[in-house]
Amino acid sequence: MTGSSRADTAQQVRVRPDIAALAPYTPTASLEVFAAQLGRPVRDLIKLDANENPYGPSDKARAALAALDTTHIYPDPEARTLRAMLSEYVGVNAAHILAGAGADELIALILQLFVAPGDAVISTPPTFAMYAFDTPLAHGRVINVPRRDDFSLDVPAIEAAARDSGAKLLFVCSPNNPDGSVIPPETIERLLALPLVVVLDEAYLEFSGAESFAPRVPQTPNLIVLRTFSKWAGLAGLRVGYGIFPAAIIAHLWKIKQPYNVNVAADAAARASLADLPALRANVERLIAERARLERALAAIPWLRPYPSRANFVLCRVTGMNAAELRSRLAQEHGILVRHYSTPGLQDCVRISAGTPEQVDRLLRALREIGETYA
């Protein structure tokens, strides 16, 4: 179907014009889909394109899933046991915590709560794409304030945008996806002085060594902190995240969230993960070590320029060949999947997730072989 015929069909069935014109978000595919596309068995593939945890869930989480016998019963709509455990984990009273079907659901809920038609929301690209993707769905308008060349925030430009647009929300990610940089605490303090709500996405915090701002939330009426089990706990496929909210904000979120938004499997696995922290933290340390090894090894390749990262991935600018071709050759010739970017600020970039030592070894061998053809 052509673009014009799709538009005609959308008009005929009275789809919202802004959604009819919206460009679709393109997420990474599953291993099974990639295997079919590449004509390789799943076991031959290495998936380093979505910042997933290659070690998967903890043993206790796997056992909790295997023993689950309540899939025919709706989950607790308040996820009370999970929130009580999260209270201990983040050091904030459970009354400030709301669990969600991934942090993605909470981003959409925050926008739904605050944004009236035409309201402005500030994003700081390159960053996590869902902030800008979800805003128009809530009838808001995105004000992009690009990051500097080193991916640091342009704070004076953010302040000017907040003043000029009257924005209600500012989304910032630390460590930032896709480059892995951490926002200095004094910068966040400066942003909190703005007349808007700062949504601080700490999805990769466990890999950073940085201090969370979550304990600050109860005393900071314009701060929201988002966290997730997807990365450090290996639960990306179960979609479970949580937010820490000021009392005046969370009271309204309870009104609008779906009643059974965290399914029983996600709830059980998240609770078991919090009961198995030493094992999961050991996996985090392994991934930090492999991230550091990746940074050193990639920096030694003349046609690659990695950026410093404090997440579980490394963003790398490709300087000696086409980045899309590199991504394709890694997949087609070696069965290794990495993320390719061509958007503003990320031209000729690939992002590579930290894997197991064996996966990183295979990636580095593949890069050396590919590089030999460009010598």
pLDDT, mean over the chain: 94
CA quadruple 328, 331, 336, 341: dihedral positive or negative?
A: positive
Tens of pLDDT, residue by residue over 185-197, are: 999 999 999 999 9
Q: Whose CA is closest to 46, among 371, 368, 354, 369? A: 354
Buried b (16+ CB within 10 A) or exposed e, 143-165: bebbbeeebbbebeebeebbeeb
Q: Over 60: is that where the pLDDT of 1 sits?
A: no
Whole-model pTM?
0.94
Q: Is residue 49 exposed (0-12), middle (13-18) or buried (19+ Cβ within 10 Å)?
A: buried
Q: Are 38 and 32 in contact (CB under 8 A)?
A: no
Tens of pLDDT, residue by residue over 100-151, are: 999 999 999 999 999 999 999 999 999 999 999 999 999 999 999 999 999 9
How far is the C-alpha of 277 from the C-alpha of 306, rounded, in Å? 31
Q: Over 80: is that where the pLDDT of 25 sits?
A: no
Token pair 């009643």 is found at: 259
DSSP-based three-state secondary structure for 49? coil
pLDDT band at 320 (very low <50, low <70, confident <90, very high): confident
How far is the C-alpha of 128 from the C-alpha of 132, rounded, in Å? 8
Q: Over 80: is that where the pLDDT of 28 sits?
A: no
Residue type, 248: A
Percent of the chain with pLDDT over 90: 86
**CA-to-CA separations, 5 to 19, 129, 202, in angstroms, rounded:** 15, 28, 42
Helix 102-114 / helix 130-137 crossing angle, nearest 10 deg: 40
**Model pLDDT, residue 241:** 98
DSSP-based three-state secondary structure for 173? strand
Residue 138 CA, distance from chain mean position: 20
Buried b (16+ CB within 10 A) or exposed e, 297-308: bbeebeebbbbe
Q: Over 60: is that where the pLDDT of 3 sits?
A: no
Token pair 């031959």 is found at: 44
Q: Where are the beta strands (DSSP E) in the chain?
A: 46-47, 97-100, 120-123, 141-144, 169-173, 197-201, 223-228, 241-244, 304-306, 313-318, 336-337, 339-341, 349-353
CA quadruple 179, 181, 187, 191: dihedral positive or negative?
A: positive
Residue 150 contacts by C-beta under 8 Å, 6 or more apart in sequence? 181
Token pair 């700062």 is found at: 198
**Phi-psi region at 220: left, alpha or beta (left = phi > 0; alpha = psi -120 to 50):** beta
**Model pLDDT, residue 96:** 98
- Residue with the larger pLDDT of the pair 363 and 2: 363
pLDDT band at 215 (very low <50, low <70, confident <90, very high): very high
Token pair 């990306």 is found at: 236
Q: Over 90: is that where the pLDDT of 210 sits?
A: yes
Q: What is the mean pLDDT of residues 228-243?
A: 98
